């Protein structure tokens, strides 16, 4: 099958760019020093590629992601980096022979792990992003509680998510260091081998974690693409068809806000000014000097945020540079 | 099953509110005067409820929606109110005995209908929203072309989408009249029985169309809920679980930007100020004087935009006011 034969809108993955991204990251963070975050792509076949680059542990955001990875035979070391109360499905995964570790930031979550049958935890520490995580000063006591009720505490995690898209590398480094000081202080009270955190935006600057939780690096989006010291290539686009062109100067592609995660803004059309998205359309005008497209033309658009974009599609199509579709991978970890 | 037993996040549909919304609309726009837009809910079981209220024709935005509605036995009169170039799947639906009409705004789209095996069209007229649609002055010539290549032209459609969320009813009415003047002028040149347009925001004010294409009225969202002359009730919420509460004053629910369409902004938490959404979390603080929730509490959140919210979920759970889950309907028209 050729790119031109795909029904649009369609997620298109440039295999060569993907492989270069995976190689760049694994050169810098080999093996267990990277724990790829599966939430960015929700695709077990892509996780399999990450594993082939030497990373056997994965980071997950939902129970469904954990269950699906285990079912795909990728359950060697799964970290649910999120707080969950009903862990019965996770307990079944552990019973099935996979290794599951969950984030814990309060006593109810710790007790949910025990009653759900999950035996290994990381203490999730709030390092500055107002979201989950115990205050650093409370991490030791929570670890003690976990151990007292039979949990194995493997270490700590703390995500400096509010820093990922800071434009200035020096500022990002300085603030990351402050966050990681909090995490290391908590780790001193908690113990364990694991200090987990970081992401694509701090892939080189976060030198304190034992494992980096990056996900976006594999596929990328326009938000991360705007950061000068993040060298990963745009490997994922949404293939669209032009379905209407106005004599007044705008064109309409057949992919809209149901084909793109919109929380970081509109997708990008190369050489054009995007006016807005509606459910199934993106309306744009070409920049000065560029000819407008014609009805039937195909345009590859770049999502502003890759994670929710993948979550909207059933499949991603793997293409080589000549436009051959090599495989179509199910985005099989969607939902909850 | 009870509401409390659902895995979160979960789409929850208040059956009584839904039925009141359907009744309110069908009292004002009975039978063929409403052509409910299925894109808002993407759920054949919900379309079946709309049919039970007397509406046998439906509006659709994607080929998948058309195919799925026909497969569900709801193919009496399906209008794809959108331009599509590859109509082979639609032609198969026509061969299977369903009635399919498509929007046409250019010669390539008209020829695609013929080659795809779709025989009935509406001329899509641009009435002011910069998106699809032929200019009003060109509608007659396009209708002539359609007829010359063997298409049956049933009439015109024109969507005043840019007016739906105008807050002032008088302003909305005045501008709707201007748009519909353009549509009626085009209709005079095109002919046919159908003048299709309008939406939830112009459900009473658009008195010019022969059929209204409203969709959001069935489920509603906070954007439409803010409009004073739109009386429909919030029938759809996302059930969430509180997974973390900070001593510093915020709480975290387990539904984020992968559970809510974000193009109209953050979801609403009753009695609270929503700070932000990340992939699987919404962070909020209760308003002054209200006690913060506890870990394990359940909170029903209101989406800002219902259409893309439904598109992110596999199922919607139909509940009665006592909290019993009566049925779980697959959101079976997702994707393309």
Say yes or no: A262 and A325 in one domain.
Answer: yes
Say yes or no: B211 and B282 in one domain.
Answer: no
Say yes or no: B33 and B165 in one domain.
Answer: yes
Q: Is B88 part of any domain?
A: yes
Q: Is A173 on the interface with B (CB under 8 A)?
A: no
Q: Judge whether A91 and A117 are in contact, CB under 8 Å.
A: yes
For A290-328, how does the pLDDT look when each residue is reduced to its tens digit (9 = 90+)?
999 999 999 999 999 999 999 999 999 999 988 999 999
Say yes or no: B238 and B198 in one domain.
Answer: no
User: Own/partner pairs for B103-108, CB < 8 Å, 24+ apart?
Assistant: B103/B79, B103/B132, B103/B157, B104/B142, B104/B146, B104/B151, B105/A244, B105/B132, B105/B133, B105/B134, B105/B142, B106/A244, B106/A245, B106/A295, B106/B134, B106/B142, B107/B142, B107/B145, B108/A295, B108/A296
Q: Judge whether B320 and B1 are in contact, CB under 8 Å.
A: no
Say yes or no: A140 and A107 in one domain.
Answer: yes
- Check which CATH number belongs to the domain holding A296 and give it: 2.40.37.20
DSSP 8-state secondary structure symbol assigned to residue A204: T
Q: Is A223 part of any domain?
A: no
How many angstroms separate the CA atoms of A144 and B154, rounded? 73
Q: Is A323 on the interface with B (CB under 8 A)?
A: no
Say yes or no: B182 and B251 in one domain.
Answer: no
β pairing state of B77-80 and B57-60: parallel
β pairing state of B281-286 and B251-253: antiparallel
For A31-77, how does the pLDDT look when each residue is reduced to its tens digit (9 = 90+)?
999 999 999 999 999 999 999 999 999 999 999 999 999 999 999 99
Side by side, the strands of the sheet bearing B57-60 are B57-60, B77-80, B100-104, B120-124, B152-158, B194-197, B211-212
Q: Is B82 part of any domain?
A: yes
Identify the domain containing residue A258 by its residue range: 3-10+232-330
User: CA nearest B281 in A: which residue?
Assistant: A131
Say yes or no: A102 and A52 in one domain.
Answer: yes
User: Residue A162: is its pLDDT beyond 90?
Assistant: yes
Q: Is B258 part of any domain?
A: yes
How many angstroms separate the CA atoms of A129 and A131, rounded? 6
Which helix or strand (DSSP H or E) is residue A30 part of?
Answer: none
Contact B132 A244 (CB under 8 A): yes
How many angstroms separate the CA atoms of A173 and A176, rounded? 5
Say yes or no: B26 and B156 in one domain.
Answer: yes
- Check which CATH number belongs to the domain holding B214 and give it: 3.20.20.10
For B243-302, how does the pLDDT look when each residue is reduced to its tens digit (9 = 90+)?
999 999 899 999 999 999 999 999 999 999 999 999 999 999 999 999 999 999 999 999
How many residue contacts between A and B have a Cβ separation below 8 Å? 142
Q: How many CB atoms lie within 10 A of CB A256?
A: 26
How many angstroms separate the CA atoms of B116 and A261, rounded? 31
Domain termination residue (choose one: B170, B193, B219): B219
Say yes or no: A261 and A165 in one domain.
Answer: no
User: Residue B124: is its pLDDT beyond 90?
Assistant: yes
Average pLDDT in chain B = 97
Say yes or no: B213 and B293 in one domain.
Answer: no
Q: Is A336 part of any domain?
A: no
Q: Is A226 on the interface with B (CB under 8 A)?
A: no
Among B8, B130, B262, select the one facing A283 at the smallest CB separation. B130
Overall domain count for chain B: 2
- Average pLDDT rounded to a whole number, residues A88-93: 98
Instruction: Pinpoint the alpha helices (H) of chain A.
Output: 15-28, 44-52, 63-71, 88-95, 107-116, 139-148, 169-190, 222-225, 306-310
| pTM score above 0.90 | yes
Contact B311 A254 (CB under 8 A): no
Domain termination residue (choose one: B163, B194, B219): B219
pLDDT recorded at residue A321: 81
pLDDT recorded at residue A300: 97
How many angstroms separate the CA atoms of B101 and B109, rounded? 13
Q: Is B225 part of any domain?
A: no
For A102-157, how does the pLDDT look when each residue is reduced to its tens digit (9 = 90+)?
999 999 999 999 999 999 999 999 999 999 999 999 999 999 999 999 999 999 99
Contacts of B61 in chain A (CB under 8 A): 279-280
Q: Is A174 part of any domain?
A: yes
For A185-218, how does the pLDDT look when each residue is reduced to its tens digit (9 = 90+)?
999 999 999 999 999 999 999 999 999 999 999 9
For B36-80, how does the pLDDT look when each residue is reduced to its tens digit (9 = 90+)?
999 999 999 999 999 999 999 999 999 999 999 999 999 999 999
For B169-219, how does the pLDDT look when each residue is reduced to its tens digit (9 = 90+)?
999 999 999 999 999 999 999 999 999 999 999 999 999 999 999 999 999
Q: Is B124 part of any domain?
A: yes
Domain termination residue (choose one: A218, A252, A283): A218
Say yes or no: A149 and A245 in one domain.
Answer: no
């Amino acid at each position: 099958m050729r790119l031109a034969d795909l029904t649009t809108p369609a997620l298109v993955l440039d295999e060569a760019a993907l492989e270069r991204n995976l190689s760049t990251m694994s050169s810098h963070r080999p093996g267990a020093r990277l724990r790829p975050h599966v939430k960015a792509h929700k695709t077990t076949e892509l996780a399999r590629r990450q594993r082939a680059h030497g990373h056997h542990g994965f980071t997950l955001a939902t129970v469904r992601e954990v269950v699906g990875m285990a079912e795909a035979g990728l359950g060697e070391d799964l970290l649910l980096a999120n707080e969950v109360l009903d862990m019965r499905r996770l307990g079944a995964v552990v019973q099935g022979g996979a290794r599951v570790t969950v984030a814990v930031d309060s006593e109810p979550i710790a007790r949910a792990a025990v009653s759900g049958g999950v035996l290994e935890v990381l203490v999730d520490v709030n390092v500055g992003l107002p979201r989950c995580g115990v205050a650093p000063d409370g991490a030791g006591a929570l670890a003690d509680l976990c151990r007292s009720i039979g949990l194995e505490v493997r270490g700590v995690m703390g995500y400096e998510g509010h820093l990922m898209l800071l434009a200035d590398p020096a500022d990002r480094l300085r603030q990351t260091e402050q966050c990681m000081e909090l995490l290391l202080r908590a780790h001193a009270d908690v113990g364990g081998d694991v200090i987990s955190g970081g992401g694509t935006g701090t892939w080189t600057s976060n030198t304190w974690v034992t494992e980096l939780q990056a996900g976006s690096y594999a596929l990328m989006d326009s938000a991360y693409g705007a950061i000068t010291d993040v060298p990963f290539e745009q490997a994922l686009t949404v293939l669209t068809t032009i379905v209407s062109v106005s004599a007044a100067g705008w064109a309409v592609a057949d992919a809209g806000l149901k084909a793109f995660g919109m929380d970081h803004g509109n997708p990008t059309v190369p050489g054009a000014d995007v006016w807005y998205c509606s459910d199934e359309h993106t309306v744009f005008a070409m920049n000065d000097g560029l000819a407008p497209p014609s009805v039937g033309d195909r345009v590859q658009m770049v999502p502003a945020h890759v994670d929710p974009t993948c979550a909207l599609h059933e499949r991603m199509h793997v293409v080589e540079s000549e436009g051959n579709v090599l495989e179509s991978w199910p985005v099989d970890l969607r939902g909850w």
